[in-house]
Amino acid sequence: MNAGYPLLLDVAGRAVLVVGAGPVGARRAIGLADAGALVTVVAPAADDALSGDDRITLRRRAYEASDLDAVWLVHACTGDDAADSQVAADADAARVWCVRASSAPSSAAWTPAVARVDDLADALDVHAERLLSGEGSWQYAFRVEHAGAMLASGRAAVMVAQA
């Protein structure tokens, strides 16, 4: 399994698309807007949290592949694996990074767990499927739990990786 490459993105002033506007899509759209992204959300219906946020452009309709035109990043958060897969396939064809909320292992990019203390943000990425499939050891699970607790408490920033 590829553990990926840790990376932070400066999305300030960059167009980002969120497809889906339920609780996950709303949380991600607001977080992206907080980071200064130019956020467009496409969904037939939207979470109330998005309706009053003037930093977010809300298009109440179904997703179209052309929604990816001129965006740097897309989050597929529809709650429907087939729809998220279509967004991911379209994004791959358009060479746009896509985060699939429904399947991190099938995603070109994914978001880590984040703990924020004042102006410090710590991120922890764990390939949970390792633990669930039996590939992970109890020592790995312990290190992940310990790192998460340290991040949440703000005591330390820790990167956990298993070769």
- Tell which residue, 83, 11, 13, 7, has the closest CA to residue 42: 83
CATH number at residue 77: 3.40.50.720
pLDDT (average), residues 7-16: 93
pLDDT for 51 equals 84
State residue 5's pLDDT score: 78
Backbone φ and ψ of 150, nearest 5°: -65, -40
**Higher pLDDT, residue 133 or 73:** 73
pLDDT for the residue 153? 60
Both tokens of 84, joined, read 């998220």
Is 52 exposed, middle or buried, given 0-12, 13-18 or 19+ CB atoms closer than 10 A?
A: exposed
* Same-domain pairing of 118 and 102: no
pLDDT confidence tier of residue 146, bands split at 50, 70 and 90: low
Whether residues 61 and 129 fall in one domain: no
Mean pLDDT computed over 153-159: 51
Answer whether residue 133 is part of any domain: yes
Q: Are strands 120-124 and 113-117 parallel, antiparallel or unpaired?
A: antiparallel
In tens, the pLDDT along 65-120 reads 999 999 999 999 999 999 999 999 999 999 999 999 888 778 888 887 666 667 76
Q: What is the total count of domains within the chain?
A: 2
Say how far apart CA 41 and CA 43 lie, in whole Å. Answer: 7
Is residue 4 situated within a structural domain? no
Domain that holds residue 125: 113-153
User: Residue 105 is encoded by which pair of tokens?
Assistant: 């292992």
pLDDT digits (tens, 9 = 90+) for 34-79: 999 999 999 999 878 888 899 999 999 999 999 999 999 999 999 9
